[in-house]
Structure 1
Amino acid sequence: MRITGLKTLSLLCVMTSATSVMADAGKLLATAGLSQIEGSGGGGLVPWATLAGYDTRDETSASVFMTNVDVTDYRLSSIGIASSFYDRVELSYAQQTFHLPVSLNKALGVGEIKQNILGAKVRLFGDLVYSDYPQVSIGLQHKSLDQNTVASYLGAKKDSGTDLYLAATKVHLGLVAGYDLIWNLTARATKANEMGLLGFGGDDNNHYQMVMEGSVGLLLSPKWVVGMEYRQKPNNLSRVEEDDWKDVFVSYNPNKNFNLTAAYVDLGTVATQKDQAGLYLSMTGYLW
């Protein structure tokens, strides 16, 4: 991570730590979800309607996360922070570093791509557990690359863009043989190529496309969750095939201070390299 990224992360930690009202015991364990790879609260690949913390209507919360995805030819690391205010508004920041293989490094003269993501989410209505209907939230993720060498080479139109999404999430207590079931459905409007790491828009398409994303999980106990996710991807670049993403995950929540998630991810073809599959690991620490 660049020094500027570390300074931004430190500044956000100081700003959020100044808040006096802190989240405590209001929500059920594991209902804060995970830290999504773009910084929002949710699953690993998919943002959910949940907010990134255990705060209730008179509390705030803050969390930090680190994620590493290591597939056949690439490695993606992500680090960030998120704050949730009064179970209504979430703000997040993440910096992603996409490490390229030696072959592409030699061809393009670029060893890694960095992307900064600022996120915001608002809970519109509903409750994850206690309402008869799902919790529904609307959000955005504004993304910008630190350099556009690779994106421009592949035909991307811009090096920054904004995704808009609407998510619905629900927990059904004891639905499956006495175990709790959680599901999420997200509709995303995007121009991003490979989540924005390869720029935005392209010669095949330069308009927003609507893609669907989904997650389903089973709470085996208050501390353990297993599930799977699926994320549709647009195709904007004629030179680069882009496949949908999927994963199978297990998440361990020993308490409301820490979360550890591991997953097998299948990303298909990424930046001309086929069969990109491997291990996803993520840790989240809840500051309060």
Structure 2
Amino acid sequence: MKLIKNCFRLAAIILFSAQAFSNDTSKILATSALSSIEGSAGGGIVPWAVIGGYGSTGEWSVAASSSQVNVEDFKLSTHSLLGSYNNRLELSYAQQALQVLPLNTAIVQNIFGAKARLAGDLIYQDWPQVSAGFQYKINENPSIAIDVLGAQSDRSTDYYITASKLWLHALAERNLLLNATLRYTDANQTGLLGFGQGSESQYRWVGEVSAGLFLNHQWAIGGEFRQQPNKLASVDESHWWDLYSAWFPNKRVAVVAAYVDLGTVALWEEQRGMYLSIQITH
């Protein structure tokens, strides 16, 4: 309840302050996407091909986001900053702090990302928008990842290619978004438990998908699925999924609430709970 109260209090402040800004930007409402837990534009747990922000040709855009995932034995807080130019290039930074409640300890990870639009368009072309990117991750608690869990490294890079398409009036006259992402990674629990296993990096391809249905111009509902490599021998790693509701009151603010199921995380099973995120875009 404290998380909900704080987030809605922050949302009220943001909505009030957002009136001071003009909404005169080129891209249409909600096509900025959201901020994922790793900083790049997308859903809560999956990067999309969308370039973050509302800047179009020759325009800059920036976005800041704060989110929290509360499940049975963990709390993950993420603060991120994203910048984009020309609707072609996106740079991002995110800091994650994972509280492991049963052990009364915390794990911090920094993520530096870049994404480039390669081809297509989200709306105005027949083919989907296709982008490629990477996320360079640094785990600030190597003693936990390497010494305790047997990970190979405390830093590594994820590479991904992703395709997104928004169909207007596709389902019951409502707009439909579909996204598919292929990621090449050796991250354990997205890097929060280190990278690789033993003396090997153990990269592999994993799949991620997202879907969203716009109920109107401001509200969308949907779900996501993210495959996890599960390569760390000492602990188990389940695939992730969520069901979300997103609100875009204007081009400055996006608020997302979701039910998340992380399955087994390390030694703890049935990690389910709530995800809440607020994004400010300019």
TM-score normalised by the chain length of structure 2: 0.90
Letter in 2 for 1:179: R
The equivalent residue for 2:74 is 74
Counterpart in 1 of 2:36? 36
Q: Report SS of the residue matched to 1:137.
A: strand
Match of 1:145 among 136, 139, 159: 139
TM superposition shift of 1:147: 2.0
User: Counterpart of 1:162?
Assistant: 157
Letter in 2 for 1:78: T
Identity %: 47
Q: Does 1:198 pair with 2:193?
A: yes
8 Å contact from structure 1 (residues 23, 60) kept in 2? no
Give, as a single letter, the amino acid of the residue that structure 1 aligns with 2:133.
G
Aligned partner (choices 227, 231, 239) of residue 234 of structure 2: 239
**Distance 1:24-1:90 versus aligned 2 partners, 3 A rule:** farther
Q: Which amino acid aligns with 2:177?
A: I
Letter in 1 for 2:186: K
CA deviations on 1:244-268 (whole Å, 9 max, x unpaired) are: 0000000000000000000000000
Amino acid at match of 1:68: Q
The alignment of Structure 1 onto Structure 2 pairs a total of residues equal to 260
Q: CA 1:169–1:23 in 2, change beyond 3 Å: closer, same or farther?
A: farther
- Aligned counterpart, 1:122: 116
Mind listing any 5+ residue stretches in structure 2 that lack a counterpart? 1-21
Alpha-carbon distance in structure 1 between the residues aligned to 2:24 and 2:131 = 22
Number of the residue aligned with 2:275: 280
What is the root-mean-square deviation of aligned Cα atoms in Å? 1.3
Give the whole-Å Cα distance in 2 for the aligned partners of 1:158 and 1:179: 46
2:6 corresponding residue in structure 1: none
Distance in 2, matches of 1:251 and 1:205, equals: 40
1:142 is aligned with what amino acid? Y
Aligned to 2:25: 25
Q: Match for residue 113 of structure 1?
A: 107
Structure 1: where are the runs of 5+ without partners? 1-21, 106-110
Q: d(CA) in 1 for partners of 2:250 and 2:116? A: 25
| Whole-angstrom distance in 1 between the partners of 2:37 and 2:48 | 12
- Preserved contact between residue 179 and residue 209 of structure 2 (Cα < 8 Å): yes
Please state if 1:217 is matched with 2:206: no
Distance 1:25 1:101 in 2: 43
Q: Does residue 51 in structure 1 map to residue 51 in structure 2? A: yes
**Structure 1 residues 55-104: Cα deviation after superposition (integer angstroms, max 9, x where no partner):** 101101001000100001100000010001111100000000000113x2
Q: Which amino acid aligns with 1:154?
A: L
AA of the residue aligned to 2:34: L
- Which whole-Å CA distance do the structure 2 matches of 1:243 and 1:24 have between them? 43
- Call closer, same or farther: CA 1:23–1:47 in 2, change over 3 Å: farther
Change (3 A) 1:23 1:224: closer
Letter in 2 for 1:116: N
- Bigger CA drift: 145-154 or 134-143? 145-154
Q: Deviations over 1:98-133 (max 9, x none)?
A: 00113x24xxxxx10000000000000111010101
Q: Is the 8 A contact 1:204 1:237 kept in 2?
A: no
CA–CA distance in structure 1, aligned partners of residues 24 and 37 of structure 2 = 25
Aligned structure 1 segments of 4 or more residues deviating by more than 6 angstroms: none
1:23, distance to aligned residue in structure 2 (A): 8.7
Q: Deviations over 1:116-155 (max 9, x none)?
A: 0000000001110101010000000000011212101111
Contact 1:23 1:55 in 2 (8 A): no
Q: Is the 8 A contact 2:136 2:158 kept in 1?
A: yes
- Residue 131, structure 1, aligned to residue 125, structure 2: yes
Paired residue type of 2:39: G
